Amino acid sequence: MYIQPEIIVVVTAFAVLGMEMFLPPRQRVLQTPVCLLGLSIALAAVVYLMIQGDGNFLGGQFLFDGVAGWFKVSFLLAGLLTVLLSADLLNGRFKIVPGQNRVLIHRGEFYTVVLFNLVGSMFLISATNLINLYVCLELATIPLFALVAWRRDDPLSCEAGLKYIILGATSSAVVLFGLGLLYGLSGSVDLFTMGDNLSFGPATKLAIAMVVVGVGFKLTLVPFHMWAADVYRGAPLPVAAYLSVASKAAGLAFMFQLFYRVLGNVLLDVSMALAVLAAVTMTLGNLVAVVQANVKRFMAFSAISQAGYLIMGFLDPSGAPSMVYYMLVYVVTNMVVFGVLVFYLNETGREEIEDYRGLSRTNPWIALVMMLGLFSLAGIPPLSGFVGKFFLFSVASKAGFHWLVAVAAVNSTISLYYYLRIVRQMYIEPGLGDDPPIRASASIVTALAVSTVLMVVLGIVPFFYETIYEQTHNWIAVAGIRGGMAE
Amino acid sequence: MTGFLFENAWMIPALPLISILLIGLFATGSNARFAGIIGSVAIGTAFLLTCGLGLAYLSSAEAGASAVTWSIEWLRYQDHLVVSLGTLIDPISLLLLFVVTSVSLLVHVYSIGYMAGDEGYSRYFVFLSLFTFSMLGLVLAPNLLQMYVFWELVGVSSFLLIGFYYTLPEAIAASKKAFIVTRFADLFFLAGILVLGFFVHQWIVDAEWGGVTAAAVQSASAVQALDFATINSEPVLAHLKDQPGVLGLDLLTVAMLLVFIGAAGKSAMFPLHVWLPDAMAGPTPVSALIHAATMVVAGVYLVARLFPGFAASGDALDVVAAVGCITCLFSALIACTQTDIKRVLAFSTLSQIGYMMLALGVASAEHPAGLGAAMFHLFTHAFFKALLFLGAGSVIHAVHSNDVAEMGGLRKKMPLTHATFLIATIAIAGVPPLAGFFSKDEILGAALDGEHHLIFGVGLFVAALTAFYMFRVYILTFLGGHKSDGAAKAHESPPIMTIPLVVLGVMSVCGGWIAVSQFVLPGVELHAHLLVMGLSVAAAVVGIGSAFWLYGGQANRAQTMAESMGGIYRLVQNKFYIDEVYLFVTKMIFRFIAAPAAWFDRHVVDAVMNLSATVVRWVGARLNVLQTGQVQTYGIWMINGTILVLLFLWLVQR
Amino acid sequence: MYDGTVATLFFYFFAVASIALALGVVLGRRLLRSAVCLIGVLGSSAGLTLVLGFEFIAGIQVLVFIGGIVVLLLFAIMMTSEGHTFEQRPSAARRVMGGVVATAFFVVTLSVYVHTDFPPATAEDLAVSHEDVHAIGRKLLSNERDGYIVPFEVISLLLLAALIGGIVIARKHDPEDT
Amino acid sequence: MSWLSLLILIPFATALAVVATPDSKWYVRRWVALFGTGVVLALSLVMSVSYMQAVLQRGGDASMLTISQMEFEQSVPWFKSMGIEYHVGVDGIAMAMIVLTAIIIFTGVLASWEVKERSREFYAFLLVLVTGVFGVFISVDLFLFFLFYEVAVLPMYLLIGVWGTGRKEYSAMKLTLMLMVGSALVLVGMLALYHAAGSQTFDLNKLAMVDYSRDLQQWVFPCVFVGFGVLGALFPFHTWSPDGHASAPTAVSMLHAGVLMKLGGYGVLRVAVYLMPEGAKQWALFFLVLTTINIVYGAYAAIRQTDLKYFTAYSSVSHCGFVLFGLCSLNLMGFKGAVIQMFSHGIMTGLFFGLIGMVYGRSKTRDLTKMGGLSKRIPWLATSFYIAGLASLGLPGLSGFVAESTVFLGGFFGNPWVDSTTMRICTLLATSSIVVTAVYVLRGLSRVFQGPMTKSEFSQMQDATIPEKLCTGILVATLAVVGMYPPVLIDLIEHAIVPIANRF
Amino acid sequence: MFPTPTITHWLTLSALLFSIGLYGIFTRRNAVGVLLSIEMTLNSAILNILIFNRFVASDDVDGQVLVLFIVAAAAAEAVVALAIFVSFYRHRHTLDVTQANHICDQGNSAS
Q: Could you read off the pLDDT of B453-510 as tens digits, one per residue?
A: 888 888 888 888 888 888 888 888 887 777 777 777 777 878 888 888 888 888 888 8
Chain E segment 89-108 residues within 8 A of C by beta carbon are 89-90, 95-96, 98
Strands B81-89 and B67-78: antiparallel
Residue B220: its pLDDT value, please?
Answer: 47
Of A131, A173, A291, the CB nearest to E42: A173
- What are the tens digits of pLDDT across the range A335-344? 999 999 999 8
Of E6, E23, E43, the CB nearest to C98: E23
Touching status, chains D and A (3+ beta-carbon pairs under 8 Å)? yes
Residue A483: its pLDDT value, please?
Answer: 41
Tell me what the mean pLDDT of segment D289-298 comes to: 90
Over 50: is that where the pLDDT of A138 sits?
A: yes
Chain B segment 150-169 residues within 8 A of D by beta carbon are 150, 152-153, 156, 159, 163, 166-167, 169
- Distance CA(B251)–CA(B199), nearest Å, equals 9
Do E39 and C38 make contact, defined as CB atoms within 8 angstroms?
A: yes
Q: B98-112, B160-174, C62-76, D80-94: which range is least confident on average?
A: C62-76
Mean pLDDT of chain A: 88
Q: Give the distance from residue A97's alpha carbon to the nearest chain C alpha carbon, in angstroms.
A: 16
B435-449 helix and B415-429 helix, angle to the nearest 10 degrees: 10
Mean pLDDT of chain B: 83
Over 70: is that where the pLDDT of D94 sits?
A: yes
Residue B503: its pLDDT value, please?
Answer: 86
Over 90: is that where the pLDDT of B316 sits?
A: no
What are the chain A neighbours of B650 within 8 Å (beta carbons)? 202, 205
Q: Where are the alpha helices (DSSP H) in A154-270?
A: 155-186, 191-197, 202-219, 227-234, 237-242, 248-255
More confident call, B222 vs D22: D22
Residue A166: its pLDDT value, please?
Answer: 93
- Closest CA in chain B for residue D407: B77
What are the chain B neighbours of C108 within 8 Å (beta carbons)? 643, 646-647
Contacts of B3 (CB under 8 A, 6+ apart): none
Residue D415 amino acid letter: N
Tell me what the mean pLDDT of segment B343-359 comes to: 87
For chain C, the chains sharing at least 3 beta-carbon pairs closer than 8 angstroms are A, B, E
Residue A111: its pLDDT value, please?
Answer: 92
- What are the tens digits of pLDDT across the range A151-167? 888 888 888 999 999 99
Confidence of residue B210 (pLDDT cuts 50, 70, 90): low
Tell me what the mean pLDDT of segment C133-145 comes to: 83
- Distance CA(C177)–CA(A74), nearest Å, equals 32
- Distance CA(A211)–CA(A214), nearest Å, equals 5
Three-class SS state of D72: strand
Q: Where are the alpha helices (DSSP H) in B141-168?
A: 144-162
Residue C125: its pLDDT value, please?
Answer: 57
Residue A404: its pLDDT value, please?
Answer: 93
Tell me what the mean pLDDT of segment A457-482 comes to: 78
User: Which of B618, B631, B652 to probe the A interface (max A CBs under 10 A)?
Assistant: B631
Q: Give the distance from residue A235's alpha carbon to the nearest chain C alpha carbon, in angstroms.
A: 13
Q: In this structure, what is the dihedral angle of CA atoms B626, B631, B636, B638, given to the nearest 10 degrees?
A: 90
End-to-end CA distance of chain B: 93
**Total number of domains in chain D:** 1
- Residue B261 burial (CB count, 10 A): 22
Tell me what the mean pLDDT of segment D399-419 comes to: 89
Do B627 and A229 make contact, defined as CB atoms within 8 angstroms?
A: yes
Over 90: is that where the pLDDT of A355 sits?
A: no
* DSSP at B115: T
C-alpha R_g of chain A: 21
Touching status, chains C and D (3+ beta-carbon pairs under 8 Å)? no
- Distance CA(B410)–CA(B424), nearest Å, equals 16
Residue C157: its pLDDT value, please?
Answer: 92
- Residue D49 burial (CB count, 10 A): 12
Tell me what the mean pLDDT of segment B393-417 comes to: 80
Exposure string of A51-88, with b = 16+ CB inside 10 Å and e = fewer, is eeebebbbeebbbbbbbbbbbbbbbbbbbbbbbbbbbb
| Residue D434 belongs to domain spanning | 3-502
Over 60: is that where the pLDDT of E107 sits?
A: no
CATH 1.20.120.1200 fits C4-130, yes or no: yes
Residue B465: its pLDDT value, please?
Answer: 86
Confidence of residue D346 (pLDDT cuts 50, 70, 90): very high
* DSSP at D307: B
- Distance CA(A383)–CA(B206), nearest Å, equals 56
Does residue E18 form part of some domain?
Answer: yes
Q: B30-39, D289-298, D424-433: which range is least confident on average?
A: B30-39
User: Which of B634, B640, B647, B651 to probe the C interface (max C CBs under 10 A)?
Assistant: B640
Residue D444: its pLDDT value, please?
Answer: 85
For chain B, say whether E106 makes contact (Cβ under 8 Å). Answer: yes
Residue A486: its pLDDT value, please?
Answer: 37
- What are the tens digits of pLDDT across the range A3-33? 889 999 999 999 999 998 888 888 888 889 9
For chain D, say whether B608 makes contact (Cβ under 8 Å). Answer: yes
Tell me what the mean pLDDT of segment C153-171 comes to: 90
Contact D262, D187 (CB under 8 A): no
Percent of chain A beyond pLDDT 90?
47
**Total number of domains in chain E:** 1
Chain E segment 23-62 residues within 8 A of B by beta carbon are 25-27, 34
- Closest CA in chain B for residue C99: B636
Q: Give the distance from residue B598's alpha carbon to the nearest chain E alpha carbon, in angstroms.
A: 29
State the ipTM, two decimals: 0.88
Nearest in space to E16 (alpha carbons), one of A183, C10, C34, C19:
C19
Do B653 and A269 make contact, defined as CB atoms within 8 angstroms?
A: yes
Tell me what the mean pLDDT of segment A182-190 comes to: 88
What are the chain E neighbours of C151 within 8 Å (beta carbons)? 69
More confident call, A149 vs D375: A149
Backbone angles phi, psi at E108, to 5 degrees: -105, 25
The residues spanned by each domain of chain C are 4-130, 131-178
- What are the tens digits of pLDDT across the range B72-114? 888 888 888 888 888 888 888 888 888 899 988 988 888 888 8
Residue D100: its pLDDT value, please?
Answer: 93
**E strand or H helix that includes residue C136:** helix C132-141
End-to-end CA distance of chain D: 35
Backbone angles phi, psi at B629, to 5 degrees: 85, -5
For chain A, say whether B621 makes contact (Cβ under 8 Å). Answer: yes
Residue A487: its pLDDT value, please?
Answer: 33
Chain A segment 150-189 residues within 8 A of E by beta carbon are 152, 155-156, 158-163, 165-166, 169-170, 172-174, 176-177, 179-181, 183-185, 187-189
Mean pLDDT of chain D: 88
**E strand or H helix that includes residue D169:** helix D168-196
Over 70: is that where the pLDDT of A215 sits?
A: yes
